[in-house]
Amino acid sequence: MGNYEALQKAEQERRHKVAGDKATPVDALNWDATPQSAPLSGKAGLLSRLTKGRKRKTKGAGAAPVQDSSELNKRRIAILRPESYISEQFRMLRGRIESLSAQRPIRTVAMTSANPGEGKSTAAINLAVVEAMGLGKRVLLVDCDMRRPTAHRSLGVTPKFGLAEVLLDRATLAEAVVRPEGTGLDALVVRLQPDNPSELLASDRMRTLLEEMAQSYDRIILDTPATLGLPDSKIVTGLCDGVVVVVRADVTPREEVGAVLDILDRRRILGMILNGADISRESYGYY
């Protein structure tokens, strides 16, 4: 409980510094939803290992990672190249979650990381895409990062309503859900960026919304903010059946991984993804 209270205090201090104690919602995302095109690297591994990336310094929970067309394409590689080796790794992750769900129900899965830029959104989007490839399976991707949302741009969608509007009862779930082109999944992304995301995520409406989603979907993947420095991830993961933690090779400090495990409910953690490992496909042979 001490960790959570500390996170809440840190979030309040951050809001005062950034917003100057103003409580005016911001309805002004940069809606550049046009899919970009750039060459993709075919070497990576997951869960494991995901996309190969350059080493970079971790700047903490407040840092906004730079996005270019190549980064956006990595986030939707399962859409652009479903036959790729990386997509196969997400299918393996899907299979492992299915195996775990035989032991206990796992309908809602949250993706998180210690800090921004470690690959949780990439993992969430691509896992949701391959989950939706299952025959007769209804899958929903939910962007729970109302501070720095990315799913709308990665998926190339421009919704009329988003998660905040649904939580504020300004729109229904059916009105806010969109179907990204070239996928079999539904997505609830962010349109309105409120000044109180933590309170909205901790509200009774969020809990009932998840229950409503669970009645309509077989698997719900939630992309949450980074865990360290903000209470949002702790709140959302506490409402989910399972949690996957994304760790970036040679970037995420070991002690910060330990801090994430201390903050989250370990009973809900399904496993970890090692992202950015420099391992070639050939090293695995045919498989």
pLDDT tens column, 247-271: 998 899 999 999 999 999 999 999 9
Asked whether residue 7 is domain-assigned, the answer is no
**Is 239:210 a contact under the CB 8 Å cutoff?**
yes
Asked whether residue 19 is domain-assigned, the answer is no
Tokens for 247, please give them. 């760790």
Mean pLDDT of 61-80: 53
Asked whether residue 259 is domain-assigned, the answer is yes
Asked whether residue 257 is domain-assigned, the answer is yes
Asked whether residue 120 is domain-assigned, the answer is yes
Asked whether residue 235 is domain-assigned, the answer is yes
CATH code where residue 187 lies: 3.40.50.300
| pTM of structure | 0.72
Residue-range definition of the domain harbouring residue 171: 45-53+68-284
Number of compact structural domains in the chain: 1
Asked whether residue 39 is domain-assigned, the answer is no
pLDDT band at 165 (very low <50, low <70, confident <90, very high): very high
* Cα three-residue angle 133-223-76, rounded to 5 degrees: 45
Asked whether residue 32 is domain-assigned, the answer is no
pLDDT of 171 > 60? The answer is yes
